[in-house]
Amino acid sequence: MKNKTVIITGASSGIGEATSYAFAMQGANVVLAARKLDKLNEVKQHCEKFGVQVLVVKCDVSIEQDCINLVDQTIRTFGGVDVLVNNAGISMRAIFADCDIKVLKQLMDINFWGAVYCTKHALPYLMDKKGTVVAVSSVAGLVGLPARTGYSASKFALEGFMQSLRIETLKSGLHVGMIYPGYTASNIRNVALNNTGATQQESPLDESKLMQPETVADAIVYMVKKRKRQQILTGIGKVSKWLNILLPSQSDKAVYNFVAKEKDSPFK
């Protein structure tokens, strides 16, 4: 990865932050994109300790012009793009019947359209380098997750988009990868939207027991280097995928019971 150029969205925290460090450790120049400029600059300082060049771009991926600017600044600084990691995303926790429709729209704007915008405008440069585009999905992109209708919808949409893109570019040399972490320790649940669109503040899970973002970051780097098409990172994710295909009724019950056990579950 030495001297390759990697764009990472949602780079200010969680999986995005850890992925920035993982690529910097491999010698890649990193482009850090997120809305929080102060936090991005902290990540930049850490990345620079590995002797790589770092570009910080304030970017709201739900705004197409911000994504255009992200790619333009990358090209002006580094002359090309080798890897795009579509990681920026938010979650939600609310029963659909009680949920303001604007919540689902916001989820789609960030999780789906943000990836589409960044991929669209980086694609010519990625294809020129026979590079890689990776989307960070979730087990919720393989199996519908109750109380996360907007989140699952955005990840299922991302799945279809990336699969179609892979097939369209099959003979171009572009590598298209999807990665499916399980529940990962981060602030995504703290800032998840409730039924009115406000952040829920408190995570319903014990974050200390969840997959660490560094594990996901290492898997993303491995995926890029080995040009793997997909990685499901947990046993429960792999079981969920096949249970949903082979025994869908049992899968529905298992997922319902799993979510019902969460702290302050909306099903209680």
Is-contact 227 175, C-beta < 8 A?
yes
Return the pLDDT at 120.
98
Buried b / exposed e along 124-144 (16+ C-beta atoms within 10 A): ebbeeeebbbbbbbbbbbbbb
Is-contact 11 28, C-beta < 8 A?
no
Task: Kindly state the average pLDDT of the residues 31-49.
Answer: 96
Which of 143, 142, 123 lies closest to 133 in space, CA to CA?
Answer: 123
Task: Kindly state the average pLDDT of the residues 128-147.
Answer: 94
Task: Kindly state the average pLDDT of the residues 26-52.
Answer: 96
Q: How far is CA 5 from CA 23, 32, 34, 107, 260, in A?
A: 9, 11, 17, 28, 43
The domain ranges of the chain are 5-236
Q: Write down the pTM of the prediction.
A: 0.90
Element (H, E) at 180: strand 175-180
Which residue do the tokens 């929080």 mark?
36
CATH code: domain 5-236 is 3.40.50.720
Is-contact 255 146, C-beta < 8 A?
yes
Tell me the pLDDT of the chain averaged across its residues. Answer: 91
Q: How far is CA 28 from CA 6, 82, 93, 129, in A?
A: 7, 10, 36, 15
Tokens representing residue 100 in the block: 């303001």
Is the pLDDT at 266 greater than 80, yes or no?
Answer: no
Range with the poorest average pLDDT among 10-19, 35-44, 175-184:
175-184
Q: How far is CA 151 from CA 66, 108, 214, 248, in A?
A: 22, 8, 22, 20
In angstroms, the first-to-last Cα distance of the chain is 49
Segment 167-185, tens digit of pLDDT: 999 999 999 999 999 776 6
Is-contact 71 118, C-beta < 8 A?
yes
Q: Going edge to edge, which strands form the sheet with 29-34? A: 54-58, 29-34, 5-9, 83-86, 132-136, 175-180, 230-232
Strand-pairing partners, residue 178, are 135, 230
Higher pLDDT, 153 or 183: 153
Strand-pairing partners, residue 176, are 133
List all residues 6 or more positions away from 142 whose beta carbon is below 8 Å from its beta carbon.
159, 180, 232, 237, 240, 241, 244
What would you report as the CA-atom Rg of the chain, rounded to the nearest whole angstrom? 18
Give the rounded percent of residues in the chain with a pLDDT score beyond 70. Answer: 93
Any idea which residues carry the catalytic annotation? 151
Return the pLDDT at 185.
67
List all residues 6 or more positions away from 23 whose beta carbon is below 8 Å from its beta carbon.
1, 6, 8, 30, 83, 221
Segment 179-216, tens digit of pLDDT: 999 776 665 556 778 888 887 655 555 556 668 889 99
